[in-house]
Amino acid sequence: MKAISLVSARVAVLDRPDVDTDQIIPKQFLKRIERTGYGKYVFFDWRLDEDGNERPGFELNQPQFAGAKILLAGRNFGCGSSREHAAWALQDYGFDVVIAPSFGDIFRSNAAKVGMIIVELPDEQVKELMEGVDLDRGSDLTVDLDAQTVTTPDGKVLPFAFDPSTRYRLLNGIDDIGLTLQYEAEISAYEHARAT
């Protein structure tokens, strides 16, 4: 996993609650056995019409959101299916950060595993950030995982809480399995204790 700490980039707004992982990556793309290349399928049915052309009304197709690395979304983002493909698709499309009032538990954990920063802010603050986005020219935000802050273009700083162990792993790009295997002796001891 690549280390990640500071993301200062274009923001896209998807102001809908309960965006489920079936929407983020529809089932037909789950038959692939690869881990990469899901970006072109992200929000497939919302983003593209039957002929594969971009739907002009869909949020992510707005020109001012092009190249966004930060997604501002509604509550309960990533609910539903456990498919990690949702995190792979968002990341491959270009998103390093999702900011929302709440997240589906499994999505949140999957996103952290692949090296995305999942920022939970109070509902009012997310709404405020959304309202602050310039819908003609687009806006940028700065997300600093080290400092645990989101900074707006006009200098407003919003602190956020973050699980310390997940933060440590993200900042250092640490492979979770390698870390756990350091405790091999403890796992074996647990197994022996259970077997007797």
Partner 1 sequence: MPGQSLFDKVWDRHIVRQEPDGPTLLYIDLHLVHEVTSPQAFEGLRLAGRRVRRPDLTVATMDHNVPTLPGPITDPMAKAQLDALRSNCEEFGVELHGTGSGSEGIVHVIGPELGLTQPGKTIVCGDSHTSTHGAFGALAFGIGTSEVEHVLATQTLNQKRPKTMLLEFVGTLPPGLTAKDMILGAIGQVGVDGGVGYVVEYAGDAIRKLTMEQRMTVCNMTIEWGARAGLIAPDATTFDYLAGRPQAPRGADWERAVADWSSLPSDPDATYDAHVVVDVSELAPQVTWGTNPGMVVPVTSTVPDPTAFSDPDDRAACERALAYMGLRPGQAIEEIPVDRVFIGSCTNSRIEDLRAAAEIVRGHVVDARVTALVVPGSAAVRRQAEEEGLDRIFLDAGFEWRLAGCSMCLGMNPDIVAPGERCASTSNRNFEGRQGHGSRTHLVSPQMAAAAAIYGHFVDVRALAAEPVPA
Binding site for partner 1 (CB under 8 A): 15-18, 20, 22-23, 26-28, 30-35, 45, 74-76, 79-85, 87, 102-106, 109-110, 113-114, 163-165, 176-177, 180-181, 183, 186-187, 190-191, 194
* Closer to partner 1 by Cβ: residue 10 or 75: 75
* Closer to partner 1 by Cβ: residue 63 or 177: 177
Q: Least distance in Å: CB of 142 to partner 1? A: 26
* Closer to partner 1 by Cβ: residue 123 or 146: 123
Helices 85-93/105-113 angle, 10° precision:
60
Q: Give the Cα separation of 68 and 61 in Å (integer).
A: 11
Q: Which residues pair with 20 in a beta bridge?
A: 79
* Closer to partner 1 by Cβ: residue 9 or 98: 98
Nearest to 93 by CA among 163, 10, 18: 10
From the CB of residue 27, how many other CB atoms can be counted at a distance below 10 Å? 10
Q: Least distance in Å: CB of 155 to partner 1? A: 28
Backbone angles phi, psi at 12, to 5 degrees: -115, 150
Q: Least distance in Å: CB of 70 to partner 1? A: 20
Q: Give the Cα separation of 59 and 40 in Å (integer).
A: 16
